[in-house]
């Protein structure tokens, strides 16, 4: 039986449509026997209609979050929106010269640089899809490949559920070359109504993705995408699918804290694990 001891895509109140605190998420992870939790709130236009540093200040003070809490390793992340077909992330090129206090900063910075400066890793996901309306599968593929190449992006979030048409081959090859991973997201398995065509299509895309990763030797992360602490560590459907296809355990990056932290350290520029704080 595959064991998955990290949940590296979970949300807190700072995502606004989520309902738990960091502490509640960590406690839930401890209670579920997890070794590691990665806090990945939305870094996205979903947070505010105002695009300015003030709205994203929960990403600027990660240093206060203990690296070990209730026996659980805690990583600091963000789920960053992909905002165009070039694969740019939210806040790209948006320059500011004032920080939270209103004082002029030493030199101008982009929101993207500031928001992702202190994350251990980012998950790149598409939520707002208007910009993809006329995109071809080749364009979507290229968008995902470019997003994955961002120095802070460790994985693409829920590409099976987003529903955009893509070509699996180039995405899987890019993940392998970059030492990065693709996500199997438990929430994709309860998306839509049971038995409806949309859920069936999502599930078959997720299975195809996992099979392609197994074949190519690409790591996957199995995450809950919990928007409330109750859901943390509940991966049953994703793990059952992986069992069915005999997914190789060594490619499951979230199988242990050691495996996941090692993968982050190899893939993300400037990642430092400080150990116990």
Task: Give the residues lining the site for Zn ion (CB under 5 A).
Answer: 79, 125, 157, 225
Please say which residue, 92 or 127, places its beta carbon nearer to Zn ion. Answer: 127
- Taking the complex as a whole, the smallest distance from the CB of residue 225 to Zn ion amounts, in Å, to 4
Q: Write down the least CB distance from residue 81 to Zn ion, Å.
A: 8
CB of 4 to Zn ion, least distance (A): 17
Task: Using the minimum distance from each CB to Zn ion, give the nearer residue, 53 or 157.
Answer: 157
- Answer whether 83's CB lies under 8 Å from 51's CB: no
Q: How far is the CB of 100 from Zn ion (least distance, A)?
A: 25
Residue 235, token pair as written in the block: 């991966």
Q: Which is nearer to Zn ion, 99 or 163 (CB)?
A: 163
Q: Which is nearer to Zn ion, 24 or 96 (CB)?
A: 24
Nearer to Zn ion, 157 or 160 (CB): 157
For the record, the structure tokens of 3 come out as 């064991």
Nearest distance from C-beta of residue 248 to Zn ion, angstroms: 26
């Amino acid at each position: 039986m595959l064991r998955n001891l990290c949940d590296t895509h979970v949300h807190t109140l700072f995502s606004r449509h989520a309902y738990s605190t960091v502490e509640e998420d960590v406690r839930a992870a401890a209670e579920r026997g997890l070794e590691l939790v990665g806090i990945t709130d939305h870094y996205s236009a979903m947070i505010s209609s105002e695009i300015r540093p003030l709205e994203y200040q929960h990403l600027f003070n990660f240093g206060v979050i203990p690296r070990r809490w209730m026996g659980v390793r805690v990583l600091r992340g963000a789920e960053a929106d992909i905002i165009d077909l070039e694969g740019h992330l939210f806040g790209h090129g948006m320059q500011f010269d004032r920080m939270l206090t209103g004082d002029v900063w030493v030199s101008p910075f982009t929101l993207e640089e500031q928001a992702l400066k202190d994350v251990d890793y980012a998950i790149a996901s598409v939520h707002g899809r208007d910009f993809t309306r006329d995109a071809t599968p080749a364009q979507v593929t290229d968008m995902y490949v470019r997003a994955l190449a961002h120095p802070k992006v460790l994985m693409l979030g829920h590409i099976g559920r987003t529903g955009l048409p893509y070509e699996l081959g180039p995405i899987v090859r890019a993940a392998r070359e970059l030492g990065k991973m693709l996500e199997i997201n438990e929430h994709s398995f309860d998306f839509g109504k049971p038995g409806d065509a949309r859920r069936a299509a999502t599930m078959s895309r997720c299975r195809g993705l996992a099979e392609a990763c197994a074949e190519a030797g690409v790591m996957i992360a199995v995450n809950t995408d919990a928007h409330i602490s109750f859901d943390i560590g509940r991966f049953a459907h994703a793990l059952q699918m992986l069992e069915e296809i005999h997914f190789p355990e060594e490619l499951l990056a979230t199988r242990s804290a050691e495996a996941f932290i090692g993968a982050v350290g190899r893939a993300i520029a400037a990642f430092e694990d400080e150990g116990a704080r």
